């Protein structure tokens, strides 16, 4: 994955804004969406409960939409909860 300087700045800006509001998240890694090679995913470890995670996703989606409109880059926060139990 190739990330230019501006994308790196925007990734850090998005992550830091979300992290300041939802301090329970931790950066994991970056990934490219399997459906769109121009869409960057910021994978985070999240110990938020389901309602908080939904709220965080809405908040980060709004910020991501602003980045897309202003700069043309698709960047999203993608949470992973290690405590999730699949039945």
The CATH number for 64's domain is: 3.30.300
Helix (H) or strand (E) segment spanning residue 62: helix 50-71
Q: Which two tokens mark 66?
A: 């602003």
Q: Is 86 part of any domain?
A: no
Record the pTM: 0.91
Q: Is 85 part of any domain?
A: no
Domain that holds residue 27: 5-80
**Confidence check: pLDDT of 86 > 60:** no
Tell me if 79 sits within 8 A of 46, measured CB to CB: yes
pLDDT tens per residue, range 18-75: 999 999 999 999 999 999 999 999 999 999 998 999 999 999 999 999 999 999 999 9
Q: Is 87 part of any domain?
A: no
Q: Is 33 part of any domain?
A: yes
Residue 34 CA, chain-centre distance (Å), reads 15
**Residue 52 φ then ψ, to 5°:** -65, -40
pLDDT at 82 (0 to 100): 80
Q: Which two tokens mark 49?
A: 């409960």
């Amino acid at each position: 994955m190739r990330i230019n300087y501006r994308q790196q700045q925007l990734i850090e800006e998005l992550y830091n804004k979300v992290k300041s509001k939802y301090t329970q998240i931790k950066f994991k890694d970056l990934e490219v969406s399997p459906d769109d090679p121009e869409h960057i995913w910021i994978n985070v470890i999240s110990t938020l409960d389901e309602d908080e995670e939904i709220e965080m996703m809405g908040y980060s989606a709004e910020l991501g939409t602003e980045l897309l409109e202003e700069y043309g880059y698709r960047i999203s926060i993608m949470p992973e909860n290690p405590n999730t139990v699949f039945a």
